[in-house]
Amino acid sequence: MPETRYIFVTGGVTSSLGKGILASSLAKLLQSRGYRVTIQKLDPYINVDPGTLNPYEHGECYVTDDGAETDLDLGHYERFLNETTSQANNVTTGRIYQSVISKERHGDYLGKTVQIIPHITDEIKRRIKILGSKGKYDIVITEIGGTVGDIESLPYIEAVRQLKWELGTKAMVIHLTLVPYLAATGELKTKPTQHSVKKLLEEGVQPDILVLRTEYDIDITVRKKVALFCNVALEAVVQSINVPTIYDVPLKMLEEKLDLTVLKKLDLPIKRNLDLSAWNGFLNRLKNPTKTIEIGIVGKYVELRDAYKSIVESLIHAGAENRCQINVNWIHSETIKSNTVNDLLSNLNGMIVAPGFGHRGMAGKIIAAKYARENNVPYFGICLGMQVAVIEFARNVLNLEAADSSEMNPKTPYPVIDLMEEQKGVTDFGGTMRLGAYECRIIEENSNVRRAYNKLTIHERHRHRYEFNDNYKEQFIKAGMIPTGINPDTDLVEIIEIPDHKWFVGVQFHPEYSSTVLNPHPLFVDFIKNSLLEEE
């Protein structure tokens, strides 16, 4: 077996150029050539993980099977590669310092002064190599968060410099920069790229490949100029042009022969011709819809679309599967009132009530759930969205007027959603929710979920503290809201449905985390399929 190779992806000039998509696209090509690839994200912030971050700060918090709360780029890795990631795939500065400081407290450094170099950089290197040392991967792609030149990312770049030195041709660096277009002169400008590469050189790292983000084709003269000023081969200057969907990027990188240049640099053979037929099949379905559908996403972070990244991507996968174009209607839950609900929701073919925490926007979500239930509009409640459906049903069907989740109103007389037993007494916020994949057993043969999954045992990822309160189960069943999935170990209700409705499903877990291009999530697919059905 050849030794593991390491590819580092750094970014320059601005943030948000799409390092995660670039890393995922390259990984996809290498995977399609028969290599076993994984991707890791190093985040230079001090939080131990993004679990405690407000979604407005960094977008969605993505949860892995093993219960790690991670950066949303890991969602792209899984969606592109169709393989799961784990805690080892996301490391933050906070986590690095936490382990170095705990080693120091244990006396592991034998009285030495603990410093950024070598102790922090050694810990970074160790975390990078962990994935490679398992023998599971031929290639590990490590994406360094932030932009070159940031104070915070210096120790990471230093670790990359050392690893490049130690590993020789077994490591390489791809630097992603921006080539802006100046409308006034009608020119593409390379100076920001040159400066950014200089900055990287100052920090001791010579990039092997430059990927230039651009709105227009970059011609050979401009490429030659970049190659000359930045000490890279002409073939190693690659453009990444704007495309209609992120799922086009692997094909663009293929046109630029990025995969071949990488294999050559890493001294790896071209094992086989690329097989992207399944990927192209998806793109073909995505780009040739035969119908259009309006789907609402009701949430309180809608100003920042990244807050619901995985839900949006799951809808894209499910839309392609159903050959339909989904127009997402973003609906801020705080704007839904009894006098606005009709205007806001009446054009929808289906609605998703999104996950969330805290009281803000709850009233609007409850009005939305009531609207869906009463008007036979397909309803897909995810985590908090399931809890919302339960609260609404309790208030308006069971006539338990002040029913609530004890998260929103600790004094409610009817806590139909209540704190889980294991959560009582938990005081730390970080990493203490019910996290990661748990088994769920589908207990109703005649249910939407049974038809959608076509199996009885499923595994889905969780991220919550509250749950359906079993004391009310019988009342709900009698009135027509049925638990259709439960956790076999704890009996916790995982799924509720209203059988007497076109499609009304609430899930306590997060199906959006496990939808991929090659495996669109069955619940999203079924939700869209049923939202497409015309009223009889």
Q: How far is the CB of 475 from ligand GLN (least distance, A)?
A: 21
Phi-psi region of 60 (alpha: psi -120 to 50; beta: other; left: phi over 0): beta
Q: By C-beta, is 282 or 466 nearer to ligand GLN?
A: 466
Cα 431 versus chain centre, distance = 17
Residue 350, SS3?
strand
- Out of 315, 318, 331, 383, the only residue in the binding site for ligand GLN (CB under 6 A) is 383
Alpha carbons 368 and 270: distance in angstroms, whole number: 54
State residue 18 phi and psi, 5-degree precision: 100, 45
Question: Measured between alpha carbons, how far is 260 from 289 in angstroms, rounded to an integer?
Answer: 33
512 in active site: yes
| In the complex, minimum distance from the CB of residue 393 to ligand GLN, in angstroms, rounded to a whole number | 17
Buried b (16+ CB within 10 A) or exposed e, 284-300: ebbeeeeeebebbbbbb
Residues 170, 3, 32, CA angle at the centre, nearest 5°?
85
Part of the chain binding ligand GLN (CB under 6 A), chosen from 152-160, 191-199, 354-362, 469-477 = 354-362
CB of 391 to ligand GLN, least distance (A): 11
Whether 510 is catalytic is yes
Kindly state the tokens that stand for 229: 């000023």
For the bound state, the minimum distance from the C-beta of residue 412 to ligand GLN, rounded and expressed in Å, comes to 15
The residue from 36, 45, 357, 398 that contacts ligand GLN (CB under 6 A) is: 357
| The one among 50, 146, 207, 355 contacting ligand GLN by CB under 6 A | 355
Q: Is 60 one of the catalytic residues?
A: no
356 binds ligand GLN (CB under 6 A): yes
Which lies closer to ligand GLN via its Cβ, residue 12 or residue 356? Answer: 356
Residue 225 is encoded by which pair of tokens?
A: 């100029």
| Helix H or strand E encompassing 403 | none
How many CB atoms lie under 10 A from the CB of residue 155? 20
Tokens 């890393």 belong to residue: 23
> What is the layout of strands, in order, in the sheet containing 415-419?
404-405, 415-419, 466-468
Token reading at 534: 């015309």
Q: How many residues bind ligand GLN (CB under 6 A)?
A: 10
**Of 76, 175, 501, 510, catalytic:** 510
Of 158, 460, 497, 512, the active-site residue reads 512
User: Which residues are CB-neighbours of 319 under 8 A, at least 6 positions away?
Assistant: 286, 289, 293, 325, 326, 528
Question: Helix H segments across 33-92?
Answer: 55-58, 73-81
- Per-residue contact flags (x/-) with ligand GLN for residues 46 to 75, judged by CB under 6 A: ------------------------------
Strands (E), 33-192: 37-43, 62-63, 69-70, 90-92, 139-144, 171-178, 181-182, 187-188
How far is CA 466 from each of CA 48, 63, 110, 436, rounded to the nearest angstrom?
Answer: 23, 17, 45, 15
Considering beta carbons, is residue 11 or 355 the nearer one to ligand GLN? Answer: 355
* Interface of this chain with ligand GLN, residues 488 to 507, rule: CB under 6 A: none
Of 274 and 403, which CB lies nearer to ligand GLN in the complex structure? 403
Shortest Å, Cβ 407 to ligand GLN: 5
Query: 444: which residues sit within 8 A by CB, 6+ positions away?
Result: 450, 482, 484, 497
Spell out, one character per residue from 448 to 467, where the chain touches ligand GLN: x when CB under 6 A holds, - when not.
Answer: ---------------xxxx-
Given candidates 208, 407, 494, 526, which one binds ligand GLN under the rule CB under 6 A? Answer: 407
Active-site option among 61, 230, 383, 440 = 383
CB of 419 to ligand GLN, least distance (A): 8
H or E, element range at 330: strand 324-332
Closer by beta carbon to ligand GLN, 218 or else 419: 419
> Residue 493 Cβ, how far from ligand GLN at the closest point, in Å?
12
Minimum distance of ligand GLN from residue 506's CB (angstroms)? 11
Of the two residues 68 and 293, which places its CB atom closer to ligand GLN in the complex?
68
Nearest CB to ligand GLN, comparing residues 329 and 423: 423
368 binds ligand GLN (CB under 6 A): no
Residue 138 in the binding site for ligand GLN (CB under 6 A): no
**What is the rounded distance in angstroms from the CA atom of residue 176 to the CA atom of residue 211?**
5
Q: Which is nearer to ligand GLN, 44 or 361 (CB)?
A: 361
- What does the chain come to in residues? 536
CB 509 within 8 A of CB 519: no
The amino acid sitting at 463 is R
Task: Mark the segment that binds ligand GLN (CB under 6 A) among 126-134, 319-327, 349-357, 476-484.
Answer: 349-357
Q: Provide, rounded to whole angstroms, the least separation between the CB of residue 386 and ligand GLN.
A: 8
Is the preceding peptide bond at 118 cis, omega within 30 degrees of 0?
Answer: yes
* Phi and psi at residue 468, to the nearest 5°: -60, 130
Q: Would you say 35 or 468 has its CB closer to ligand GLN?
A: 468
CB distance 495 to 485 below 8 Å: yes
Identify which range of 138-146, 311-319, 350-358, 494-502 contacts ligand GLN by CB under 6 A. Answer: 350-358
Cβ at position 233, least distance to ligand GLN in Å: 47
User: Segment 420-449, which members bind ligand GLN (CB under 6 A)?
Assistant: none
Residues that bind ligand GLN (CB under 6 A): 355-357, 383-384, 407, 463-466
| Residue positions annotated with a catalytic role | 383, 510, 512
